[in-house]
């Protein structure tokens, strides 16, 4: 097999994050602490996972960095946009995810990360009320201002490459509309015509990133890059895009546990999922229009793993419900309950209960690191368009719904996709098939 030509990860990698809240400050603080040797980047595939390459006598297990060229944690340079003016240190303290003892050693670095003014429209997140926002004539002007921010960051820091990561709140649901989202030209015209209900601020960030040679990652369930106009733009600019929604708590459990039911040929009558959380994400999702965006992403997981057409006796009539409840006392410590009604031999019913007391940002931080490093890798390897191999990290993986493509949501099949992509970029053969 011909070795993919991957440019070496020389110089610095800039990571510009939209949103300087609990997730992004936990991510930044963890990276800074790890490079001082004061913490471990637990949960990060790029830092810990080993992949088998070769077979037989040539078989060996290697870290990702030993298969492909990747930046070290020392090579990362951060910047952010946020609607609140608090710097990364203040924001990390306010988020109350990490203890002060785990923030103070990198206080000086965090203080230097002062958020750029955010491109924001309150109609997309009514529960947020910050004043560190750009004044924009229209969506086109909004996009131009973001592009200028990216150019200034590159110039001021001297980074070699930049990845843009959305780690901000869930916007209200924007249904893909081909009149506005079907082509680059249509989207650009909608921006210039200021069609605010069809062009979300996140679309302006994604467009700006791609126009400034930056891969873009959508870490929320927004339909931002899940539209044909963005697919076309990523092909035109030869840049990778990925999304959507970090797969952290309940959906991680679902994508890993549903295969147990499906592989063991057990039936499903119903799966009820409910969550409580109290951070900024929970506050925003308390708004029904914003929850709708999240619900679409969370509901899609099960239906592509336990498929009625494949096993009508087992999966033709199950009930799937997802609930998220804002509960301030829990802050970032999310709790998810799953009640699963299954049936077995001769139709006899059984139940499974899962109670996951997780920490949202602790699970999301390593995903941020992995997604940024792997998107940079994809870019250096000349890969562009939707990066399906990153589905492992995402709740509702992007796919071409205009051609009835079904996304892979099965966690272990996603892991095979991830490993094979790393192998191929390292010049090894993809040697595990997804049936």
Q: Which domains does the chain have, with CATH numbers?
A: 13-246+361-425 (3.40.50.720), 250-357 (3.30.360.10)
Model pTM score = 0.94
> What pLDDT score was predicted for residue 250?
87
> What is the C-alpha to C-alpha distance for residues 362 and 369, in angstroms, rounded to an integer?
12
Taking a C-beta distance cutoff of 8 angstroms, is the pair 61, 296 a contact? Answer: no
What is the length of the chain?
435
Tell whether the torsion through CA atoms of 93, 95, 100 and 105 is positive or negative: negative
CA–CA dist 314, 158 (Å, integer)? 57
pLDDT tens-digit series, residues 243-299: 999 999 888 999 999 999 999 999 999 999 999 988 777 777 777 777 776 676 666
User: CB–CB of 115/87 below 8 Å?
Assistant: yes
% of the chain with per-residue pLDDT over 90: 83
- List the structure tokens of 56: 């037989």
Q: Residue 294 has what pLDDT? A: 67
Indicate whether 144 pLDDT > 70.
yes
Q: Work out the average pLDDT over 422-426.
A: 96
**pLDDT score recorded for residue 1:** 45
Residue 129 pLDDT grade (very low, low, confident, very high; cuts 50, 70, 90):
confident
Summarize pLDDT for 93-114 with one digit per residue, the tens.
999 999 999 999 999 999 999 9
The residue-averaged pLDDT of 149-161 equals: 98
C-alpha to C-alpha distance for 282 and 23, rounded to whole angstroms: 13
For residue 122, what pLDDT band results from cuts at 50, 70 and 90?
very high
């Amino acid at each position: 097999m011909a070795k993919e030509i991957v440019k070496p990860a020389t110089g610095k990698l800039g990571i510009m994050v939209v949103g300087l809240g609990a997730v992004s400050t936990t991510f930044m603080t963890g990276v800074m602490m790890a490079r001082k040797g004061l913490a471990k980047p637990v949960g990060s595939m790029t830092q810990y996972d080993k992949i088998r390459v070769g077979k037989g006598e040539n078989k060996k297990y290697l870290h990702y960095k030993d298969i492909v060229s990747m930046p070290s944690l020392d090579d990362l340079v951060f910047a952010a946009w946020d609607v609140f003016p608090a710097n990364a240190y203040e924001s990390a303290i306010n988020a109350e995810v990490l203890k002060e003892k785990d923030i103070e050693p990198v206080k000086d670095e965090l203080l230097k990360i002062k958020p750029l003014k955010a491109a924001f429209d309150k109609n997309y997140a009514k529960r947020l009320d910050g004043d560190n926002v750009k004044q924009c004539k229209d969506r086109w002007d909004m996009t131009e201002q973001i592009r200028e921010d990216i150019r200034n960051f590159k110039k001021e820091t001297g980074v070699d490459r930049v990845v843009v990561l959305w780690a901000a709140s869930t916007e209200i649901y924007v249904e893909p509309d081909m009149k506005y989202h079907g082509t680059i030209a249509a989207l650009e015209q909608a921006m210039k015509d200021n069609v605010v209900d069809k062009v979300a601020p996140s679309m302006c960030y994604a467009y700006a990133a791609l126009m400034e040679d930056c891969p873009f990652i959508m870490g929320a369930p927004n339909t931002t890059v899940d539209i044909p106009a963005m697919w076309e733009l990523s092909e035109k600019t030869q840049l990778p895009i990925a999304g959507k929604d970090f797969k952290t708590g309940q959906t991680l459990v679902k994508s890993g546990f549903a295969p147990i039911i499906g592989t063991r040929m057990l039936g499903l009558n119903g799966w009820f999922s409910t969550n409580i959380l109290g951070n900024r994400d929970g506050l925003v999702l308390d708004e029904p229009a914003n929850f709708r965006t999240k619900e679409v992403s969370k509901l899609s997981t099960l239906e592509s793993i336990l498929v009625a057409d494949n096993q009508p006796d087992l999966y033709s009539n199950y009930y799937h419900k997802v609930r998220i409840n804002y509960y301030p006392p829990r802050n970032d410590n999310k709790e998810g309950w799953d009640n699963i009604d299954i049936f077995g031999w001769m139709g006899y019913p059984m139940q499974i209960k899962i109670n996951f007391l997780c920490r949202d940002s602790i699970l999301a931080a390593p995903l941020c690191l992995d997604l940024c490093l792997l998107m940079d890798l994809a870019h250096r390897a000349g890969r562009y368009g939707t990066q399906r191999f990153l589905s492992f990290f995402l709740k509702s993986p992007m796919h071409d719904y205009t051609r009835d493509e079904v996304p892979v949501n099965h966690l272990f099949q996603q892991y095979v996709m991830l490993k094979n992509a790393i192998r191929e970029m390292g010049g090894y053969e993809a040697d595990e098939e997804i049936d």
